[in-house]
Amino acid sequence: MAGNQKTGKVKKAAAKAGNKGGALKKAIELDDIYCHSEDVVVRTIEDELILVPLVAGIGSVEGEIYALDETGREIWNRMDGRKTVSEIITDLEKTYQSSERSIQSDVRGLMGELATRMLIQRRTIA
């Protein structure tokens, strides 16, 4: 996928979007378990994963919908409401060559943004 025109456009959009909301990003603990919000409809269009907020208060006013790139999809698809953040990171380490620190940074960064926008929810274990 790397290097094709559409990936280039996604990266350009990501760069344009920057890390909005980063300052307010929720802290993600390694033992936490997250699941997708029930108030988000997940669409796959071409090779993009698109999150469409269903109810008010989900997402933010800056965009109507949210696109996740390849990395985002890998992380999103592992948030099954059972795996801890730490287990997701370990799982990703098996697939990617990057360092644990780098993967952890990406996972916590993305999940922090998703949680801030209420696109994912922390699961409370009874």
Partner 1 sequence: MPKESFIIPTTVPELVDRLVSDAERRVMSFELELTARCNNNCRHCYINLPAGDRKAREKELSLDEIGRLADEAVDLGALWCVITGGEPLLREDFAEAYLLLKKKGLLVSVFTNACLITHEHIELFKKYPLRDMEVTVYGVTRETYEKVSRKAGSYRAFRRGLDLLLQNGIKVRLKAMALRSNFQELPAIAEFCRLHTRDYFRFDPQLHLRYDGNGRRNREIIAERLTPAEIASIEQADPERSNAIQRNCDQFIFPGPEHHDCEHLFHCGTGNTSFTISPEGYFRLCSSLWHPDCVLDLRKNSLADAWNKLAPRVRSLTSSDPEFLLKCRNCRIVNLCLWCPAHAYLEHGRLDAWCEYFCQVAHARAAAIEQKKSV
**DSSP reduced 3-state for 53:** strand
Is residue 38 within the footprint of partner 1 (CB under 8 A)? no
Among 4, 24, 30, 43, binds partner 1 (CB under 8 A): 43
Q: Ramachandran region of residue 72, left (φ > 0), alpha (ψ -120 to 50) or beta?
A: alpha
Give least dist CB 123 to partner 1, A: 20
On the CB side of 19, CA atoms within 13 Å amount to 10
Is residue 17 within the footprint of partner 1 (CB under 8 A)? yes
Pairing, β 120-122 against β 34-36? antiparallel
Give least dist CB 30 to partner 1, A: 17
34: β partners:
122
Contacts of residue 16, defined as CB under 8 A and 6 or more positions apart, other chains included, come to: none
Site pattern 70..109 for partner 1 (x: CB under 8 A): xxx--x----------------x---xxx---xx--x--x
Which stretch, 27-35, 41-49, 80-88, contacts partner 1 (CB under 8 A)? 41-49
Q: Are 59 and 66 in contact (CB under 8 A)?
A: yes
Pairing, β 48-53 against β 120-122? unpaired
Give least dist CB 83 to partner 1, A: 17
Chain residues that interact with partner 1, rule: CB under 8 A: 5-6, 9-11, 13-15, 17, 19-20, 22, 41-43, 45-46, 48, 50-56, 59-60, 62-72, 75, 92, 96-98, 102-103, 106, 109-110, 113-114, 117, 119
